[in-house]
Amino acid sequence: MKKALVLGASGGMGFALVHELAAREIETVAFARGREKLERLFGAMRGVSIRSGDLFVLDHLLSAGEGVDVIFHAANIPYPEWQEGLPRIMRNVLDAAKQLGAKVVVIDNIYAYGRSGGQKVTEQTPKRPHTKKGKIRLALEEMVAEAHQAGVPALVTHFPDFYGPNAENTLLHYTLKAMQAHKSARFVGDPAVEREYIFTPDGAKAAVELALRESAYGQHWNIPGPAVISGHALIDIMRQQTGYKGKVGTVGKGMISFIGLFQPMMREMVEMMYLLEEPVVLSGEKYEREIGPLPQTPYEEGIRKTLAFMKKGE
């Protein structure tokens, strides 16, 4: 891979992918809608060019992707737009890859798995999504599989919840930002439940490593976090590193449902609240068996690095 295109480069995982590719001296095009934010994030980075555009316009992707070997699809849109928007974007990404002769690496979540029944899920675990958003993600996976069969090399990576530098649209960022500012803080979900999260630079390392291997295409890959951890343990780490002394409240399904009466985005979150009560935990055995050790930053170190990035942007 000599040149890569990162879609959604101004988001958490996109930001990490651009940095990982640049660190490997792979020429990188950082693509997102807002040019101002792209300039702020990557304007001074060697080997990184910036392209702003609209994922719904195929010509924008074709122009940005000229000469690229791999397209990393890390872009997302608000929940209320998923039903119509995500399939259109995926079709454009796959069509662009076909015309450009590029491979595709899809950054995906765990929604398509549905309920796990308390067992770690592997790539062979049947996907039985019971939510609207899980069914949408599964339909996107089927589009990718069809494109791969039709000659567009593609792979799908599954990640748990993100946190890390520039990962602002995440549940942990919501809590960490308030604690850093010493304002009223809340943790989303039951803090007694143990869940897993992945530090975005770890996820980017794993995704790029897969992208470099021809044998990885045509497959799905689970990339877990370092371990499951309770909200109480995370809050303790955040307290130690921010000096936050106040109470940390909780946001449960009832509160999300109430807020959803007035905010469409929050209303769309309600059906996914099961993940905060019955966590889906990924097995990374396949990656470790076929690729090597998973990049896994301890939560203490990951939160420290995330806070350092947040302070730099103040």
Give whole-number Cα distances, 95 to 59, 81, 106, 280, in Å. Answer: 10, 21, 14, 32
Tell me the β-bridge partners of 230. 194
Element (H, E) at 179: helix 171-180
Per-residue pLDDT tens listing for the chain (314 residues):
999 999 999 999 999 999 999 999 999 999 999 999 999 999 889 999 999 999 999 999 999 999 999 999 999 999 989 999 999 999 999 999 999 999 999 999 999 999 998 899 999 999 999 999 999 999 999 999 999 999 999 999 999 999 999 999 898 999 999 999 999 999 988 999 999 999 999 999 999 999 999 999 999 999 999 999 999 999 999 999 999 999 999 887 666 664 544 455 556 777 888 888 899 999 999 999 999 999 999 999 999 999 999 998 65
Contacts of 273 (CB under 8 A, 6+ apart): 189, 252, 253, 256
User: Rounded to two decimals, what is the model's pTM?
Assistant: 0.95
Bridge-based pairing of strands 3-7 and 48-52 is unpaired
Given this model, what pLDDT does residue 44 score?
86
Of 115, 93, 96, nearest to 106 by C-alpha is: 93
> What pLDDT sits at residue 272?
83
Lookup result for tokens 């609209």 = 54
64: enclosing H helix or E strand = helix 58-64
- Classify strands 228-230 and 194-199 as parallel, antiparallel or unpaired: antiparallel
> Which residue ranges form the domains of the chain, and what is each CATH number?
3-164+198-225+280-296 (3.40.50.720)
